[in-house]
Every structure is written in C-alpha cells, then in structure tokens.
Structure 1
Amino acid sequence: MANSFFRNAYTRMVEARERQVSRYVNGALLNLDDKTLESMGTSRAELRRKGANSYVF
C-alpha cells in the first residue's frame, strides 16, 4: 500500500508539473508571429484554448 501511495503522489506531482510547463510554453509561443505559428502547425486560437500563462523569472 505504501508503495502505491508514493507512486501515485509522484505521478500526480509530475502530471501537475507537465501542465504547468505546457501553459508556460504556450504563453511563450503566443509571442511569436502568426506566420511562424502556422509553420509550426498551430494557431494563436489553439494555444489560447489550451491555456497559456506567462511567468516572470
């Protein structure tokens, strides 16, 4: 039981961090122009729909 508790806690922590990083990257990608985003196969509307935050480090 202890093994599964720690495994679940670790998995959830990693998933939360992945969501945070995804929002950060989407925020950074929103700074690119539309032509560059289109060449990457995405759009500004799609990035906003996925969620975007900008962080100041």
Structure 2
Amino acid sequence: MGHNSAKRGFFRNALDAMVAAREKQAQRYVANALLALDDETLKASGFSRAELKRTGGIPHLF
C-alpha cells in the first residue's frame, strides 16, 4: 500500500514528534546528572565522561 506516515494523520505525527523531543530532553538530563559523578563511579557504571558529553551532556535552553 502507500506510505504509512501519510495515513497516520496530523495528530499522530505531532504526538510522535513530541515524544521524540521529550526523549532527547530526558537523555540530556540524565547525561548531565551522570556528569556530576566522579570518574571512578562513571567507569564502574560503564560510562565515560567523553561519551556523556558527546551524547548530550551540554546545557540547553529547555
């Protein structure tokens, strides 16, 4: 058949966009919270400071 996103409708697409934006916001929040930990704790948890900074540990307006 046709393209699914065309059949889903405006409100469903808007909801999907809003959910994606909130997921990114949550990822940034968690990355920033983890950056407050020391390097030993991050390493023990399987994270690196450089990785967290890359994945969104930077300040944003919202």
TM-score normalised over the length of structure 2: 0.76
Once residues 49 and 15 of structure 1 are traced to their aligned partners in structure 2, the CA distance between those partners, rounded to angstroms, is 18
In structure 2, the partner of 1:36 is 41
RMSD: 2.0
Runs of 5+ consecutive residues of structure 1 not aligned to the other structure: none
Amino-acid identity (%): 55
Q: CA deviation at 1:5?
A: 1.1
Q: CA deviation at 1:24?
A: 0.9
Poorly superposed stretches of 4+, deviation over 2 Å: none
In structure 2, the partner of 1:12 is 17
2:55 to 39, 50, 53: 50
1:28 maps to a residue whose letter is A
Runs of 5+ consecutive residues of structure 2 not aligned to the other structure: 1-5
Q: CA deviation at 1:52?
A: 1.5
TM-score normalised over the length of structure 1: 0.82
